[in-house]
Chains A and B, each alone.
Chain A
Amino acid sequence: GQQVMQIPQYQHVQEGEDFTTYCNSSTTLSNIQWYKQRPGGHPVFLIQLVKSGEVKKQKRLTFQFGEAKKNSSLHITATQTTDVGTYFCAGSMLTFGGGTRLMVKP
């Protein structure tokens, strides 16, 4: 079955530094979704990517979908303490990556 892997599992950054999490699938994806889960909260949808090579931006967040539609990345520029949480990618077969937990030191 489809497997989705995310790296790194954890990331500590100083406020203002950039952050990137990577998502890799064992199979080609029809689309990929990204979710954010704040500490003590539930996953909340951020964005969906559908097209090969697609790049979407949401303020300081940049999402990319690989040309082969087997990988994706989320990049946060100049992290803030409000970015703290776990970021998950999800493949098209209800398969979530293990998540990357982002911790930001003020």
Chain B
Amino acid sequence: DADVTQTPRNRITKTGKRIMLECSQTKGHDRMYWYRQDPGLGLRLIYYSFDVKDINKGEISDGYSVSRQAQAKFSLSLESAIPNQTALYFCATSPGWGGPRETQYFGPGTRLLVL
């Protein structure tokens, strides 16, 4: 959805570099998520945030950190990028918990290549 934007859309970086992926949303949702997609592995949760003061680790948080700067912004950082972090990264939002409020709205994705 255009309501969830990610920058950059594509990024090439070198091993050891620090990079930040940014996500912004205009949906007014409290909950935001970062996922990583690798071929054949589906979507794996890296971090999630239920509000500005709440940050939680997901299934594969090692090597990543996040910052929730505002309700609308959730950034993902790779402190020292390594080649196996090459993947497609998605940000998503949801209104809340329970029933249709759990529906997730995804951004267009950031394709990251670590050389």
Contacts and interface: CB of A to CB of B under 8 A. Distances in A.
Interface string A2-43: 000010010000000000000000000001010100000111
B3 interface: no
A98 B41 contact: yes
B43 A45 contact: no
Contacts of B90: 42-43
Interface residues of B, number: 23
Contacts, number: 51
A94 B97 CA distance: 11
A96 B104 CA distance: 12
B106 A43 contact: yes
A99 B41 CA distance: 8
B40 A48 contact: no
Contacts of B40: 9, 98
Chain A interface size, as a band, is 20 to 34
A63 to B, nearest CB: 14
B44 interface: yes
Nearest to B35: A96
A98 B107 contact: no
Q: Which 6 A-B pairs have the closest CB atoms?
A: A98-B42, A96-B43, A42-B106, A96-B42, A99-B42, A43-B106
B1 to A, nearest CB: 8
A85 interface: no
Interface of A: 1, 6, 9, 31, 33, 35, 41-45, 48, 50, 88, 90, 92, 94-99
Contacts of A41: 108
A73 B79 CA distance: 40
Contacts of B102: 31, 33, 48, 92
B33 A31 contact: no
